[in-house]
Chains A and B, each alone.
Chain A
Amino acid sequence: MSNIVVDKSKVPWWVSNVIVPLVNLTLALLVSGLFVFIAGENPIEAVKLIIYGSFGYIQGFAYTLYYTTNFIFTGLAFAVAFHCRLFNIGGEGQAYIGGLGVFLVAINLSFLPVPIVWLLAIFGAFLFGAAWAYIPAYLQSKRGSHVVITTIMFNFIASSLMIFLLVDVIRDTNQMAPHTVKLPEEIWLPSFEAFSGILGIKIRYSPLNLTFLLAIASLFFVWFLVWKTKWGYEMRAVGYNTQAAIYAGISPHKNIIIAMCISGGLAGLLGVNEILGVSHKIQAGFPAGYGFTGIAVALMGRNHPIGILPAAFLFGILYQGGSEVTFEMPNITRYMFVAVQGLIILFSGALENLFRPQIESFFVRRLNREVNA
């Protein structure tokens, strides 16, 4: 009976979708530990601090979920474009401009009843983010200018544009710092503090707000859009094989534009969390690298909403726990966690096939033994 051979297609799904990503993540975190060691701190102590900072107390946990909210948006943004094989690394700029959309809608329409202002502001964020992604999408599709370079350039341009607006046009003229006036308090999104009172927990301040639910809804939205609609199918077809898609009568131009606009719109929603939910004004540089982190989140989550949720949560832990680490360990700055993101992108994106053959053949061999036993 030893001639029965199980081939690779019989490897259970959880091997390639759970075991392999976990091995890659572990590798990335091990190398990160090495960097912490080089910086002169104890990696094990750092891990303890991260876990305490993100889970140890209710306020910390709320912060973790607040960061998770941001990463869900930017992670989904990258993932949607990636299904069309577009590298939207302009999430940073799209989020920045999206914030402008939230603010302009909210400040000008604040007289409207509250839930309507919220909906319009969310729409404004999406629209502005999408518009900022439209130009690189158009140039990619019509002129072949590589979307990586144009979106990066649009990050720089967005930053210049926003600084210009914040300094010369929409600055709160009573203040020196480049930020706008605060939005009226009636239209702030309710934060976790309000809910925690009902639950009988007392916390002083929490940035976690209703946007978290919007993020969860976005996960469903993207799942439905990409896997359950005709357009999602067309978009994936363009990404997988453009020539075949054209042959099937699918327009690459249309799909590139739609994919990038939805991607930019999702990144723009970060502005809802930051401006309608937390700071209530536009501050210079508020996207603070969340756009780039989205790349790592999406790649770690294998560009699927089911994967992006835990990946965003993990980065929430790293961010919130990381701020605990930077507080306790003088040699570690938040940039160490930028490096960790790079490592996670490297191991779960570019090097995702590093140990896949070995892991898969391990399971193949085990299955063979079971069959032949």
Chain B
Amino acid sequence: MEFLSDIASLINSTLRISTPLVFAAMAGIFAERSGVIDFSLEGKMLMAAFVAAVGSYYLGNPWLGLLLAIIVCVCLSMLHGFASVTHKGDQVVSCVAINILIIGLTTALAAAWFGQAGLTPTLNEDQRFLEIHLPFADALRDIPVIGTLYSDILSGHYVFVYLAYLSVPLVFWIVFKTSFGLRLRAVGENPSAVDTAGINVFTMRYKALAINGVLIAFAGAHLSTAVNANFFREMSAGRGYLALAAMIFGKWHPKTALIACLLFGFTDALQIRLQGVELPAIGEIPVQLIQALPYILTVVLLAGFVGKAIAPNAIGQPYIKER
């Protein structure tokens, strides 16, 4: 039973750790399917974490914090669109600019407003999201298998965890089963054909970026108002890039991206468990190596042991309408 509960808690933390990655990967799918590269997921996630934490602190309600984070992230996405869609600036440069700007701005403002070296004040129970215990979770706990599955794995997560996994079929439906999704994919593959069909390429890309902003805000709010009770400097710790790698590994498809996100989440959950553990024959693995595992995994996955990833055809190219 010891072993079983270990596995259960490992799966539990995998689900929790993967959550921001799932949101970010879904956000990335919208942007990149429309033909706009989005490395700025990292920066937007960090900004969302900051805004959500500050918003909840002042407004006393985490949902209002989340709402503010959504507004700010959509604005950042629009900035990215303004630079790279309207003004045809380099998309990667625009993303790098946003990421560096946000790293600086969030920490600088946190220090200026709260004076604690880039920390925001700790949120109390009313100001943050709490774990949701599903009905009958306690009653069912002692039933073998079902109890573990329901009470230890499914129950007791933050609202974002459930939302993240619900967003995957929703994104799949939007991207692959609606006419909006068809247009979205077409804009990323062959914008001039879409333009010929009378659809505005720029509007489509802006719409895709707006959805991208909404989704990424959830990832940030999860970090600062659910898992943690405050914002701290560079708390996104490369998750935006991991999610992007997961999305590429998942070939710009929600289902396979989800699997890649879970793989990252599992590696991270495992690395926390492995710290300080003596492994048979190898001995204790240096903690720095274990901490670097998700990053090494990203490089390995991107190197593509399952074939080369094929990006949307028009990705990274600003659309220039012929006159």
Contacts and interface: CB of A to CB of B under 8 A. Distances in A.
A114 interface: no
Main secondary structure of the interface of B (DSSP, over half): helix
A41, A157, A353, A354 — most chain B CB neighbours (10 Å): A157
B102 interface: yes
Contacts of A157: 292, 295-296, 299
B220 interface: no
B13 interface: no
B93 A145 contact: no
B84 interface: yes
Contacts of A350: 83-84, 87, 89-91, 93-94, 97
A346 B299 contact: no
Contact of B104 (A139, A163, A338, A353): A338
Interface string B68-99: 00000000000100111001111111101111
B68 to A, nearest CB: 16
Contacts of B39: 148-149
Given A143-B308, A144-B304, A152 B103 contact: no
A230 B213 CA distance: 45
Contacts of B94: 346, 349-351
Interface in B105-140: 105, 107-109, 111-113, 115, 117-118
Contacts of A149: 39, 241, 244-245, 248, 298, 302
Residue among A149, A154, A163, A167 with max Cβ neighbours from chain B (10 Å): A149
Interface stretch (B3-11, B169-177, B283-291): B283-291
Given A143-B304, A160-B292, A299-B93, A353 B105 contact: no
Contacts of B147: none
A156 B112 contact: no
A148 B104 contact: no
A148 B92 contact: yes
Interface string A126-170: 000000000100010001111011101110110011011001100
Contacts of A341: 100-101, 104
A332 B118 CA distance: 11
Contacts of B87: 350-351, 353-354
B238 interface: yes
A266 to B, nearest CB: 18
Identify the interface centre among A332, A333, A352: most chain B CB within 10 Å of its CB. A333
A292 B101 CA distance: 11
Given A341-B100, A349-B94, A350-B94, A335 B304 contact: no
A129 B112 CA distance: 36
A343 interface: yes
B295 A153 contact: yes
B146 interface: no
A137 B34 CA distance: 27
Given A139-B303, A168-B286, A349 B97 contact: yes
B119 to A, nearest CB: 12
B83 A38 contact: no
Given A292-B100, A296-B100, A342-B99, A146 B288 contact: no
Contacts of B99: 342
Given A146-B248, A160-B289, A349-B90, A152 B100 contact: no
Most B CB contacts (10 A, CB to CB) among A41, A168, A346, A354 go to A346
B299 A150 contact: yes
A340 interface: yes
Interface of A: 35, 38-41, 87, 89, 135, 139, 143-146, 148-150, 152-154, 156-157, 160-161, 163-164, 167-168, 292, 295-296, 299, 330-333, 335-343, 345-346, 349-354
Given A343-B97, A350-B94, 9 more contacts: A145-B299, A153-B245, A331-B112, A332-B108, A335-B105, A341-B101, A341-B104, A350-B93, A351-B87
